[in-house]
Amino acid sequence: MIVDFALYENGHRVVSNLALPQLIAKARQGGGFVWLGLAEPTHGEFDQISDEFDFHPLAIEDAVSAKQRPKIEDYAGLTFFVMRTVFYNEALSEVTTGEIMCFIGDHFIVIVRHGEGSPLAKVRYEIEMRPEFLANGPFAVLHAVVDRVIDDYTEIATELEDDVLNIETKVFSGKRWTVSQDIYFLKREVIEYRHAIEPLIVPLQKLADETSETITDYLKPFFRDTVDHLMRASEYASGLDSLLSAALQADLAHAQVQQNEDMRRITAWVALGVAPTMVAGIYGMNFDHMPELRWQYGYPMVVGGLLLLTAFLVRKFIKSGWL
């Protein structure tokens, strides 16, 4: 689906009723560029567009099928740039990913978006308010898109951090329940988040490289700034992953301590029953010569002794923390 398209000259949007082929021809003649936005196009829709721009077949296949790693590919007269978008469902604590694919030429930029993350309508509006920056051509648009996606990475990292702090609070609350399942699920979302952002570092560094001839010297500092933001987001995600690993180990250790305490309590109760069981076993053997059976106070003495022994053991176990 075509979301929006327009011709830009000298950083300003040209208001025109011309169809897309005429706008492309005008851009090539007048030195401007066309910015075309697509959202989850079908094969038929993309075939119509690709004929106008003469895209490479491999880039077309990647754009339609999606599920690509972040990368940058240089074809004849075309730069193909792929990045992953991230969307966080706070209610489900679930991370979902999408993709943005950019086809950049001398006189055009075509952006194909898959998934819910990082809608770009606001990016177009904001960069149109900066004509002096937009005048730098299609790669200025690419920078604005990358910058928006990385800002979303940072926002989602903050939301993930809140969930990690909640998990830590539960782990160290002293309650008897275990949250290892919650930790595992959240760790899986953090890993999904890391898989989205970390592979983007190398393609973005390639664009920001001083020796790169793809973009102008004016835009290189802006791309280096986005690389810095991306590195911080990556380090942040790595820190969250480490915190979850530590929380999981602490939760497992806490569960083991609880099991040891339960075993001590069970052992203590069993020990309390050993003495009465032993005495009952001795006097239940029906020997003929057991003089204490005929003592007047034999029974009260045995019962009293058992009660005193049991009371002593209970006091000892309580003092030792076993009961």
277 shares a domain with 248: no
pLDDT, tens digit (0-9, with 9 covering 90-100), for 164-222: 888 888 888 777 677 888 888 888 889 989 988 899 999 999 888 866 777 888 898 99
128 shares a domain with 40: yes
Looking at per-residue pLDDT, the higher value among 146 and 50 belongs to 146
149 shares a domain with 71: yes
181 shares a domain with 279: no
Report whether 198 contacts 231 (CB < 8 A): no
Total number of domains constituting the chain: 2
Of 213, 234, 255, the residue that ends a domain is 255
200 shares a domain with 87: yes
Domain that holds residue 120: 2-255
281 shares a domain with 151: no
What is the C-alpha to C-alpha distance for residues 48 and 25, in angstroms, rounded to an integer? Answer: 16
274 shares a domain with 224: no
What is the C-alpha to C-alpha distance for residues 101 and 39, in angstroms, rounded to an integer? Answer: 10
pLDDT, tens digit (0-9, with 9 covering 90-100), for 260-304: 777 877 777 777 777 778 777 777 777 777 777 677 777 787 778
pLDDT, tens digit (0-9, with 9 covering 90-100), for 68-82: 889 998 888 888 999
- Asked which of 7-11, 72-76, 82-86 is least confident by mean pLDDT, the reply is 72-76
pLDDT, tens digit (0-9, with 9 covering 90-100), for 215-244: 888 898 999 999 999 999 999 899 999 989
18 shares a domain with 93: yes
Q: Whole-structure pTM over 0.95, yes or no?
A: no
274 shares a domain with 218: no
310 shares a domain with 202: no
288 shares a domain with 243: no
